[in-house]
Amino acid sequence: MSENKTLDNLMEAFAGESQANKKYMAYAKKAEQEGKLNAAKLFRAAADAETIHALKEFEVAGKISTTADNLKDAVAGETYEYKEMYPPFIKEAEAEGNKAAVRIFTFAMKAEEVHARLYQEALENLDETEEVFYYLCPVCGNIEKAVPERCSICGAKGDRFIKY
């Protein structure tokens, strides 16, 4: 009984710490825009601390497996998001007339489909040793294997993409 409760607690802590990381990153970005650089640095340091907590909690919960299994999990998660999660979110936002939400949900849905494909491709080529580079669109989260002239999802210029 207590072991299951501890696992539940680890996963709840993981979720909370993960959300705090993103929230503090958003706060840091806003502080930078306002010229409040000391606050921005503190938010970034705290965000990184929350990431440390989340990663350890996820590990202790036993949620990290082999790379092949982790890729399969990632394919399943991304596929769920683009096929099942985002479509009703988009419909609800459209019904409410929230164009900004429709836009961001649509960008995310399309990017998640790309992510699922890339994870599947990585799984199929797991033993390949030739280095692959990925390029992230900082606007919509699309990932490409080559820098495009423009993002196929949101139209951002390719020179804005971040190399990994």
The per-residue pLDDT for range 4-34, each reduced to its tens digit, is 999 999 999 999 999 999 999 999 999 999 9
Return mean pLDDT, the chain.
97
Task: Give yes or no for a contact between 110 and 82, defined as CB atoms under 8 angstroms apart.
Answer: yes
What is the domain count for the chain?
3
The per-residue pLDDT for range 99-137, each reduced to its tens digit, is 999 999 999 999 999 999 999 999 999 999 999 999 999
Q: Is 164 helix (H, G, I), strand (E, B) or coil?
A: coil
Instruction: Specify the CATH number for the domain of residue 143.
Output: 2.20.28
Which among 34, 60, 86 is the end of a domain? 60
What distance separates the 2 farthest-apart alpha carbons in the chain? 55
- For 71, the domain range is 65-130
| pTM score, whole prediction | 0.90
H helices then E strands: how many in the chain? 5, 3
**In terms of domains, do 71 and 116 share one?**
yes
Instruction: Specify the CATH number for the domain of residue 112.
Output: 1.20.1260.10
- Give the Cα-Cα-Cα angle 151, 157, 162 (nearest 5 degrees): 80
**In terms of domains, do 11 and 47 share one?**
yes
